[in-house]
Structure 1
């Protein structure tokens, strides 16, 4: 890790990244792509040392809204356990009456359940959890340095019991690896059982471009010998890599989410995540 100074912390849409880079090691991660212009090794995480100061200044100036994080870097990387930048941000978000949502694969988020509950009482806190495979052994291969799926499901159960709404990212689905009916149905079972509000699934497949393609192929050679050559033959240098089972898997996804009243259109889910439902509950400053 290394420290950097940032000129700003919140985007115009109230998104933030306290860290840049990640140590989860997911073999498919798009954030490795060269298009994002990262000038350091992906695992050498840049910590924005002045982010909390910048966040406080922005929260004072802006109208209350949902603050989001996790689009580029999982905020609950192992470093967060020691540095507590997310936890300190949550205190500011609660203090100034904002809402919060984040995307993560980590059970470390339960450390901050007390703050999530306080924010949710005042406005809204939504946790977005990524699930790609119901098989923990496969999970340890494609997402090696973060808790396995079974533990993430336990996190969803705990959040549901605490009345914290959740959204699941059912992606990416890797052709010839996790693109099976059994896998998709098992993940949907988890989502139904834990009462998730919505599921993001744009299509069954993944995206590859310069930067993340090379890392992905390196891991295919390591864990799935011969599969890289199949990808190259079938997809070349395409950005979108669809599963050959996409049509059938999407039918299953649409049918089961509709049957159980789970949001499945990304426009509706994004609208829900950005909606700021201010509540009349009065809270003391932390």
Structure 2
């Protein structure tokens, strides 16, 4: 599939009955036969949500509130840990995740309602965690921008994670929030290799563009860092030092990393991708991944799921920490986003609780 990470649509694990149509059965296919296209258009369905702030108590993530303006992600990253969540909507974590999206057009309106509740307690909201808030359809829908407008109006702290160049469109709002200590941005920077980027993250911004995002956000006074996520053994781990150097040169202040995670259907999708793009080392890569996860493809235990365990995980940690320290990244503890400025438009102000 052109500009898609996977041609597979593995069954939804919640469906008892599955029907598949096999396009390539080994027989000649007429190139004009549109029943087996080489690309698929993106379909978007609207959902009128009744709640927009998601909450979690995971001890290994630095936030307890998040907002996702979209379900599914057109960026099509093959490694995306959120792919299995598409099964909850009776769709496949494979090609459906990339092509059948759900937008939340009333997100900003619902956010206003939730912030207005008397019992609401201020805590930074992470924007675009499960799926990227600045994926391509945001250019037309502007749901993320409307959310940022509400957060700016309420003086509410927000952190953003993205690999989409569209974030620069909202530099006015982000810089306004940052001026008050209410905003930070993390850019996902996984590789500096354009070819690998196209194979692994087909519809994301190019590496050079992501460095430009870091430069422009930093120049505008927005605290900006990077996340090298995921680190994939024998795919991009050799780039750790180069990625950190490029990020620091672009003005990043902080950097972190996450090891590849392969929950549920993502295991099958990623292994198929390996066989298509790196068949000569697919077995070696999977063996190392299993070494990191106690012999399995994935270990969901808190404290382990983000980093893995064993000698390779220790080596990645040491390499990353040493080069980051040499480059002046993470030298100072990040200033927490302010919660004491929160103010409802009606006039009630509330300190962080």
TM-score (norm 2): 0.70
State the distance in 2 between where 1:237 and 1:279 align.
Answer: 46
Whether contact under 8 Å (1:123, 1:278) holds in the other structure is no
Residue 318 of structure 2 is aligned to residue 251 of structure 1: yes
Flag the 1:140–1:213 CA change in 2: closer, same or farther, 3 A: same
Of structures 1 and 2, the larger Rg is shown by 2
Match of 2:28 in 1: none
SS of residue matched to 1:55: helix
Match of 2:97 in 1: 42
Residue 68 of structure 2 is aligned to residue 17 of structure 1: yes
Aligned residue among 229, 238, 241 for 2:297: 238
Match of 2:51 in 1: 8
SS of residue matched to 2:329: coil
SS of residue matched to 2:197: helix
Match of 2:138 in 1: 80
Structure 2's unaligned 5+ residue stretches are 1-43, 56-63, 300-307, 346-353
Whether contact under 8 Å (2:184, 2:222) holds in the other structure is yes
Whether contact under 8 Å (1:64, 1:97) holds in the other structure is no
Flag the 1:233–1:122 CA change in 2: closer, same or farther, 3 A: closer
Match of 1:171 in 2: 229
Match of 1:215 in 2: 269
- More helix as a share of residues: 1
Residue 159 of structure 2 is aligned to residue 105 of structure 1: no
SS of residue matched to 2:112: helix
TM-score (norm 1): 0.85
Whether contact under 8 Å (2:72, 2:86) holds in the other structure is no
Bigger RCO (CA 8 Å, 6+ sep): 1
Say which is worse superposed, 188-197 or 34-43, in terms of deviation.
34-43
SS of residue matched to 1:209: coil
State the distance in 2 between where 1:72 and 1:195 align.
Answer: 26
Structure 1's unaligned 5+ residue stretches are none
Aligned length: 272
SS of residue matched to 1:276: coil
Aligned residue among 53, 75, 96 for 2:154: 96
User: How far is the alpha carbon of 1:262 from its aligned partner?
Assistant: 2.3
Note the 1:254-265 alignment, pairs <5 A.
254-263=321-330
Flag the 1:192–1:37 CA change in 2: closer, same or farther, 3 A: same
